Amino acid sequence: MPYPSTSDAIEASLQGLVTTFPSLCTRTAFPNTTNSVGMMPRTYSFLKIGKGSGAARPAMLAVAGLHAREWAPPDAAVTFAGNLLTAYTGGAPFTIPAFTDSAGTIHGPVVTPAGTVKAIIEHMDLYLVPIANPDGRAFCMAAPANKMWRKNRAPLPPPFNPALIGVDLNRNFDIAWDFDTYYSAAAAADPNFSAHTSKDPIRDVYIGSSVFSVNETKNIKWLLDNFPITYFIDLHSFTGMVMHPWGIETLQTSDAAKNFHNAAFDHLRDGKLGAAYEEFFPNNAPSKLLDRHNALVTAMHDNIKDATGADYTIGTSADLYPCTGTSDDYAFSRQFLAPGAPAMYAFSVEFGDASEGFQPTPAQYPKVEREVHAALLAFVRYVGIWQGLVPSVVAPSSPSSKICFIATAAFGSADHPDVRFLRSWRDALKERRSTRNAIRLLEAAYSQVSPSIAQYLSEHEQARRVVRMYLLTPLISMLRRLFGGIAHNAN
C-alpha cells in the first residue's frame, strides 16, 4: 500500500488484513454511507482487532482522516494494524526501526516486546477507523487544485449552491456546537476562535447546519453508542502536539458547576479570553481523570521522542486554539451526561511538523509513520496492559516508594504507566505470603544502590533510553505476564 493511499486502497487493505488474520480482526461497514456531491454513495468500514472476550475487556477507538488533506495518519494507522497483527502472529516484538534525523543523530529502534504485543491483542479490543472522511480524501487526491480540501463533500441544505460544499467534520460533533449560545459575544468573535470555527458554509471550518448533520460524524457517534469504548484518540496533522480535552475552554478541577451542559453559564463562557469561566475537568479518585490523561499524553510524547527525536508539545486542545464540536471533546463529554457511565479517556494528536505539513513527501512519510506508530503503541500498551491485564489494581502507592527510583528516573515520571505498574506489582507480591520475604530482601538490596543509579540516570538521557529499552521494558513485560497470572488466581 504505497503512501499516499487512496480511500479505495485503504478499504481494500482492511479487507486484506481480515483475510490474512481472520481470527484476530473483523471488518464492519458503517451503517451510513457517504452522501457527496457528484459521487456515488460509498460504503466504508472500521476494523476491530482483538482476540478473546469478556465484560471487563477495555476497548479503544482510534480515528484518522477526519480532515481530507491530512494524508499521513490514515496510511500510518493501517500499517500500524498490519505490523501489530504480524508481530503477534509471529510471536515477535513490534519494532519501530531506527531513524536518523537531519542532524545525523540516530533515534530508536523502539522495541515493544513480544509479550507486550501478546497482552495488547489478547486483553483489549482496538476499533480502528483509518479513513473517517473517504470522499473528502478522494476529492483531495483527485487534482492538485483540491490538495488543501479539509471538509467532507456533503451537499448543504437547499437551495443547492455548487460553491458551498462540505462540513468540517471535526466541528460537527455535539459539544458546545452552537458557539453563539455557549460563549460570550467577545469570545465567539475573538480572532483566535473565529479563525478556526465558523457558521459560514464557504469556510474550511464550517460547523454544519446542526450537530451530526452529516453521515461521517453520525458513524463515529454510532461506534461510541454501540460499543463499550472508554479510550478514544483522533489522529491529525501537523503541529507536533499531543493533547487531551478540553478544546472548548481552559480547564479547572475544583468547580463542578462550571460545565458545558450548565445553561446558567450560556453566553458567559470566555474561551481563552479569561479565567472567569474555565471548564470542569474532574480529577478526584478513583478515576483521577486529569492525572491519567496527563500520564497518557506523557507516555505518547516519550515514545514519539524515542522513535524520531521529535519533541511534541504536551497540552490541552485549547492550547492549540479553542474550538467547539471536536471529536475528542465530544467523546470525553459523554461520560458527564450519562449517570453511571464509565470513565472516558480522550485524546487528539497533531503529527508531524511544518516542514512535513499536511502532506509529507514519500521521503518524509516514514518519519511521520514512526511517530504515529510510537503514539499508538504507547496508547495500546497502556490500555491493553494497565487496564486490560491488571484491572483489579487500584490506587498506586506513594511515588517515593523505594523500588521505583530507577524506573521513575528512566521513565521521567512517577506516574508513568510502567512505573505505576511496577509499584502495584511489588505491592501485590508483598501481600502474598509465598513471595513476601523474597520481595522484602530484594527491596533491601535494591535500596542500597538505587538512589545513586537514579541520580545518574536523571542526568544522562542516553542512559535512560538504554535502561528503558533493554532492561525495564522487557522486565515490565515479563512481570505483567506474571502479575496477570496472580490476578487471575485471586478471582
Site residues (vs Zn ion, CB under 5 A): 67, 236
**Cβ proximity of 480 and 389 under 8 Å:** yes
Q: Minimum Å distance from CB 172 to Zn ion?
A: 13
Q: Minimum Å distance from CB 364 to Zn ion?
A: 18
Q: Minimum Å distance from CB 170 to Zn ion?
A: 6
Q: Minimum Å distance from CB 198 to Zn ion?
A: 15
Query: Of the two residues 236 and 423, which places its CB atom closer to Zn ion in the complex?
Result: 236
**Cβ proximity of 335 and 342 under 8 Å:** yes
Query: Of the two residues 184 and 317, which places its CB atom closer to Zn ion in the complex?
Result: 317
Q: What's the rounded Cα separation, in Å, for the pair 94 and 473?
A: 13
Q: Minimum Å distance from CB 20 to Zn ion?
A: 30
Q: Minimum Å distance from CB 348 to Zn ion?
A: 8
**Is residue 90 left, alpha or beta, with left meaning phi > 0 and alpha meaning psi from -120 to 50?**
alpha
Q: What's the rounded Cα separation, in Å, for the pair 271 and 409?
A: 37
Query: Of the two residues 151 and 236, which places its CB atom closer to Zn ion in the complex?
Result: 236
Burial of 10 (0-12, 13-18, 19+ CB in 10 A): buried
Q: Minimum Å distance from CB 201 to Zn ion?
A: 19
Q: What's the rounded Cα separation, in Å, for the pair 61 and 347?
A: 10
CA distances from 310 to 126, 239, 367, 409 (A): 26, 11, 9, 20
Q: Minimum Å distance from CB 161 to Zn ion?
A: 25
Q: What's the rounded Cα separation, in Å, for the pair 19 and 85?
A: 12
Name the grid cell of 467: 535502561
Query: Of the two residues 132 and 457, which places its CB atom closer to Zn ion in the complex?
Result: 132
Q: What's the rounded Cα separation, in Å, for the pair 214 and 140?
A: 18
**Other CB atoms closer than 10 Å to residue 262's CB: what's the count?**
11
Taking only Cα atoms into account, the Rg of the chain, rounded to an integer number of angstroms, comes to: 23
Query: Of the two residues 74 and 388, which places its CB atom closer to Zn ion in the complex?
Result: 74
Q: What is the DSSP annotation of 104-132?
A: S-EE--EEE-HHHHHHHHHH-EEEEES-S
Name the grid cell of 196: 478556526
Q: Minimum Å distance from CB 263 to Zn ion?
A: 30
Query: Of the two residues 67 and 203, which places its CB atom closer to Zn ion in the complex?
Result: 67
Phi, psi of 348 (to 5 degrees): -140, 150
Query: Of the two residues 116 and 152, which places its CB atom closer to Zn ion in the complex?
Result: 152
Q: Minimum Å distance from CB 66 to Zn ion?
A: 6
Query: Of the two residues 85 and 300, which places its CB atom closer to Zn ion in the complex?
Result: 300
3-state secondary structure 69-86: CCCHHHHHHHHHHHHHHH
Query: Of the two residues 196 and 480, which places its CB atom closer to Zn ion in the complex?
Result: 196
Q: Minimum Å distance from CB 314 to Zn ion?
A: 18
Q: Minimum Å distance from CB 136 to Zn ion?
A: 11
Q: What's the rounded Cα separation, in Å, for the pair 75 and 10?
A: 7
Query: Of the two residues 69 and 292, which places its CB atom closer to Zn ion in the complex?
Result: 69
Query: Of the two residues 108 and 325, which places its CB atom closer to Zn ion in the complex?
Result: 325
Name the grid cell of 129: 477507523
Torsion angle defined by CA atoms of residues 160, 163, 166 and 171, in that order, rounded to the nearest 10 degrees: -110
Q: What's the rounded Cα separation, in Å, for the pair 475 and 310?
A: 26
Q: What is the widest separation between alpha-carbon atoms in the chain?
A: 78
Q: What is the DSSP annotation of 301-365?
A: HHHHHHHH---PEEEEHHHH---SS-HHHHHHHGGGTSTTPPP-EEEEEEES-TTT-SS--TTTH
Query: Of the two residues 65 and 271, which places its CB atom closer to Zn ion in the complex?
Result: 65
